[in-house]
């Protein structure tokens, strides 16, 4: 609406009347009036029910729940403007009070109060009031023709006034400033939606700083991973291949100089063992980078393989997906689940782990729950922080509940089609 409104306010009266802007604006205001009045009734009924149930202890919960109505109203008004929905974490039934601690929730509740007690009244006056006034003045001849002397103003019939034929002219003249006012108020209303539903500059700055820190941690993690791969290649497969080359050289010497077939056969067997060990170490190294089963069969099969190699823990999996998410999502979930299983075994002393995964709309939801001793904290563990950063890089969220004494539950919510460009 603001994209249409601001340019329209600079048009000449003739061009404005011939454009769509006034009629789009008055329609927007009329719908806003109806919605605002509806929200007012909802709020009043909600408050009345809360006060009636206050002695039972339920009223306070209803009043607290009323606060969460603000984000729904903002989301609806954003949709009316064609704005994209704001990303939000899904409601966590284990911590239902969590939205009350978010600044955005209270800002949007303030927007709700502004709409139900002020904004819709202004919209009603500007849209309905001025529309009726201008329409009545313009249609005066028709009204006089239909009602005759029954149409009175201040006592005498309207047509007894000498200037009554000028009323349609006054109505037409009023229509021009009315159209400008419709556009101006609708544009201001749209700007209010944008202003009240967007985060402040300070919050955006804080988020950008956190994004910068997260990316810096990811770069550090990638550099450490590169060094680990280099070290593993140097200490493992490279040494095996050097030994293999030396053994084959000795075999050649035995055959060419001594003709000792038995000694050469022993050296060939040793070379074969070195080659087998080198291949095994290379496979393990590649599995640590990106397991082949993840590429070939997807995240469900890859997690099943993790469960098989989880040591002494009992791992129950339930990955029920209607297809395959993007490769980035699969890789992110795989390494997060792998880290969670490792933490459950090493730090949580867990005996049983449950892994569940479902598609909820456009979101992949994966939970990992163990019966360990709990106390996991991303601030104290680089592995957990790495999981948070990996998930955040896809535009997703990671929720962790790990009270002292357990259990520990990790929940990932990642956009199904997330890719590296996000």
Three-state SS annotation for 318-358? EEECCCCCCHHHHHHHHHHHHHHHHHHHHCCCCCEEEEEEE
Long-range residue pairs from 185-188, CB within 8 A, at least 24 positions apart, any chain: 185/25, 185/29, 185/122, 185/123, 185/126, 186/1, 186/5, 186/24, 186/25, 186/26, 186/28, 186/29, 187/1, 187/2, 187/4, 187/5, 187/6, 187/9, 187/25
Closest CA to 375 of 410, 398, 403, 409: 403
Indicate if the pLDDT at residue 369 is higher than 80. yes
> Residue 348's pLDDT is what?
79
> Average pLDDT, stretch 299-314?
83
Indicate if the pLDDT at residue 400 is higher than 90. no
Indicate if the pLDDT at residue 152 is higher than 70. no
> Average pLDDT, stretch 212-217?
58
Question: What does pLDDT average to over the chain?
Answer: 76
Better pLDDT: 149 or 205: 149
Closest CA to 16 of 133, 136, 174, 183: 183
> Average pLDDT, stretch 10-14?
79
Q: Does domain 293-415 have CATH number 2.60.40.10?
A: no
> Average pLDDT, stretch 270-279?
75
pLDDT band with cut points at 50, 70 and 90 for residue 37? very high
State whether the Cα torsion 346-347-353-355 is positive or negative.
negative
Least confident of 30-44, 157-171, 386-400: 157-171
State whether the Cα torsion 152-154-156-160 is positive or negative.
negative
pLDDT band with cut points at 50, 70 and 90 for residue 232? low
> Residue 136's pLDDT is what?
75
Closest CA to 185 of 275, 242, 227, 123: 123
Cβ-based neighbours of 16, under 8 Å, separated by 6 or more = 8, 22, 176, 179, 180, 183
Least confident of 179-188, 263-272, 274-283: 274-283
Helix-then-strand count for the chain, H and E: 17, 5
Strands, sheet with 314-320, edge to edge from the N-terminal-most edge strand: 314-320, 352-360, 363-370, 408-415, 397-401
| Phi and psi, residue 186, nearest 5° | -65, -40
Cα distance between residue 124 and residue 371, in whole Å: 58
How does pLDDT run across 39-84, given as a tens digit for each residue?
999 999 988 888 888 777 777 778 778 888 888 888 888 888 776 5
| Phi and psi, residue 205, nearest 5° | -65, -40
Rounded to the nearest 10°, the torsion over CA 220, 224, 229, 234 is: 140
**Which residues on neighbouring strands pair with residue 368, listed in sequence order?**
355, 410
Cα distance between residue 367 and residue 379, in whole Å: 20
User: For the chain, what are the domain ranges?
Assistant: 2-197, 208-289, 293-415
Report angle CA 346, 347, 348 to the nearest 5 degrees: 105
> Residue 68's pLDDT is what?
80
Indicate if the pLDDT at residue 422 is higher than 50. no
Residues 31/182, Cβ–Cβ less than 8 Å: no
Report H helices in 115-200.
Answer: 120-124, 130-138, 140-147, 167-197
How does pLDDT run across 317-363, given as a tens digit for each residue?
888 888 888 888 888 888 888 888 888 888 878 888 999 999 888 88
Closest CA to 336 of 408, 286, 411, 225: 411
Q: What percent of the chain has pLDDT over 90?
A: 5
Highest mean pLDDT among 154-163, 207-216, 277-286: 277-286
Least confident of 146-150, 200-204, 401-405: 200-204
> Residue 421's pLDDT is what?
43
């Amino acid at each position: 609406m603001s994209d249409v409104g601001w340019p329209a306010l600079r048009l000449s009266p003739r061009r404005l009347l011939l454009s769509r802007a006034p009629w789009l604006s008055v329609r927007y205001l009329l719908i806003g009036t109806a919605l605002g009045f509806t929200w007012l009734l909802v709020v009043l009924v909600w408050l009345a029910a809360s006060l009636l149930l206050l002695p039972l202890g339920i009223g306070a919960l209803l009043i607290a729940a009323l606060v969460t109505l603000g984000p729904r109203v903002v989301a609806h008004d954003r949709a009316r403007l064609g704005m994209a929905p704001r990303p939000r974490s899904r409601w966590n039934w284990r911590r239902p009070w969590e939205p009350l601690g978010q600044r955005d929730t209270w800002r949007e509740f303030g927007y709700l109060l502004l709409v139900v007690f002020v904004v819709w009244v202004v919209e009603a006056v500007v849209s309905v009031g001025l529309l009726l006034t201008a329409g009545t003045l313009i249609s005066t001849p028709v009204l006089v023709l239909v009602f005759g002397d029954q149409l009175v103003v201040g006592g005498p019939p309207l047509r007894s006034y000498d200037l009554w034929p000028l009323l349609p002219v006054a109505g037409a003249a009023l229509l021009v400033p009315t159209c400008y006012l419709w556009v101006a108020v609708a544009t201001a209303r749209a700007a209010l939606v944008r202003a009240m539903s967007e985060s402040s500059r300070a919050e955006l700055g804080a988020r950008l700083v956190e994004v910068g820190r997260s990316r810096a941690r990811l770069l550090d993690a990638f550099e450490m991973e590169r060094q680990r791969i280099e070290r593993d290649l140097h200490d493992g497969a490279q040494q095996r291949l050097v030994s293999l080359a030396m053994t084959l050289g000795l075999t050649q010497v035995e055959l060419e100089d001594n003709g000792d077939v038995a000694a050469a056969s022993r050296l060939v067997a040793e070379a074969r063992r070195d080659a087998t060990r080198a291949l095994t170490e290379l496979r393990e190294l590649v599995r640590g980078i990106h397991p082949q089963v993840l590429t070939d069969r997807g995240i469900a099969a890859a997690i099943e393989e993790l469960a098989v190699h989880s040591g002494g823990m009992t791992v129950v999996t339930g990955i029920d997906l209607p297809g395959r998410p993007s490769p980035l999502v699969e890789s992110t979930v795989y390494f997060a689940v792998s880290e969670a299983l490792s933490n459950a075994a090493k730090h949580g002393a867990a005996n049983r782990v449950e892994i569940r995964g479902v598609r909820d709309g456009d979101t992949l939801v994966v939970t990992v729950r163990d019966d360990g001793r709990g106390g996991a904290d991303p601030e104290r563990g680089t592995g957990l922080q790495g999981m948070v950063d990996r998930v955040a890089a896809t535009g997703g969220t990671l929720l962790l509940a790990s009270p002292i004494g357990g259990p520990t539950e990790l929940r990932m919510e990642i956009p199904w089609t997330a890719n590296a460009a996000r």
